Structure 1
């Protein structure tokens, strides 16, 4: 709105310079781009991210399987990190030697991390594996994918807004520099005679 009122104010003002009108037009163009282009870019980026993430969700859910593993024995934990700023969530989990059967029917035995607080031999816990029984992370779900897509769209819109505003400031700064340069040249011409007009000197 400020850009629009600026253009209207300078439209028929006798004190208006060309640079004043140009600055107002630059501000108006920047405002239109921020209001129209930034949300459009955000929507496009969010949609593309969502589609890619949904494909990843489908692929992961088709290739990752939740199976039941059985604890053989608890494995000695590495020492806990005493610094709460650098300790990780893994410090709260238990390491165990476990066995499981892969979706392809092969038997596996390995050390894994479990959320069981006090694991004992024979305890069972869920474990995510690929088709061959290799331990993998939990597959991405659609809710998380949607959240990431929204954040990607929001970030893209913010990036466009910052780019447009930065460009506007740069253009206005250059226009002001040119104006000051013209003033300096005019002062160099008029300065030596300033105040002596009509004195007969």
Structure 2
């Protein structure tokens, strides 16, 4: 980015080459993109992601219902993994139990719940999430988690765009260097035969 600082000097310097001016303008364009376009793209991406998450969460809350399940007995060997939606992950310290609950439509269900609280005893109740038919479902995503993912998505897109801008700038600069070397070789080939001769070229 040092070429940006010397842009004005390059414009009036009699020794400047066309490639020097092009490099300076490319650096200035890349800097403006980094300062203006990259944050804007990141913010827009984060906002779109957040909006998509909010729609998903709204749909989940319409489709899923929190209800109280009653533990019947512990389960020795679970045959199907059904996560307790109140648990943060499926790798928690919960225990598998056989429980029963009543669905929003009034139907009764008795099934295996994989991650019930460890302190449960027969007859105790605990919360689970189900769909409209009473089948176990994952807990709906909360707004805080959705917002975190949206922010990370925006930052990721911004970082990717910034990397792309810098990659393009470096590619252009590399190409300009190749042009300079080619022109220098040509100039040297033209001046080489007369190099060191008195009055050469006069």
Q: CA deviation at 1:77?
A: 5.5
Q: Separation in 2 of the partners of 1:123 and 1:195? A: 101
Task: State the alpha-carbon separation in 2 of the partners of residues 150 and 119 from structure 1.
Answer: 38
- 1:170 alignment partner in structure 2: 171
Partners of 2:25 and 2:65 in 1: CA distance: 59
**Does 128-137 or 179-188 show the bigger shift?**
179-188
Determine the C-alpha separation between the residues in 2 that align with 1:102 and 1:51: 30
Aligned to 2:189: 188
Residue 131 of structure 1, CA deviation = 0.6
Kindly report the root-mean-square deviation, in angstroms, between the aligned alpha carbons of the 2 structures. Answer: 2.0
Residue number in structure 2 paired with 1:76: 76
Matched, 1:61 2:46: no
Give the aligned length. Answer: 190
Q: Corresponding residue for 2:14? A: 14
Instruction: Give the Å deviation of 1:75.
Output: 1.4
- Trace 1:88-107 onto structure 2 (pairs within 5 A): 90=91, 92-107=93-108
Q: Does the Cα contact within 8 Å between 2:128 and 2:136 map onto a contact in 1?
A: yes
- State the partner residue of 1:50: 50
Task: Indicate the larger mover: 112-121 or 124-133.
Answer: 112-121
The verdict on how the C-alpha distance between 1:3 and 1:188 changes in structure 2, with shifts beyond 3 A counting, is closer
CA displacement at 1:49 relative to structure 2 = 1.1
State the partner residue of 1:154: 155
Say whether the 8 Å CA contact 1:114–1:125 is kept in structure 2. Answer: no
Contact 1:77-1:94 within 8 A present in 2 as well: no
**Corresponding residue SS for 1:188:** helix
Corresponding residue for 2:29?
A: 29
Q: Output the TM-score relative to the length of structure 1.
A: 0.86
SS in 2 for 1:136: coil
Unaligned runs of 5+ in 2: 79-88
Whole-angstrom distance in 2 between the partners of 1:45 and 1:103: 37
Q: Deviations over 1:71-93 (max 9, x none)?
A: 11111268xxxxxxxxx862622
Counterpart in 2 of 1:85? none
Gaps of 5+ in 1: 79-87
Deviates more, 1:19-28 or 1:186-195: 186-195
Equivalent residue, structure 2, for 1:5: 5
Q: Is the 8 A contact 1:3 1:31 kept in 2?
A: no
Measure, in 2, the Cα distance between the counterparts of 1:34 and 1:159: 11
Measured after TM superposition, the shift of residue 4 of structure 1 is 3.5
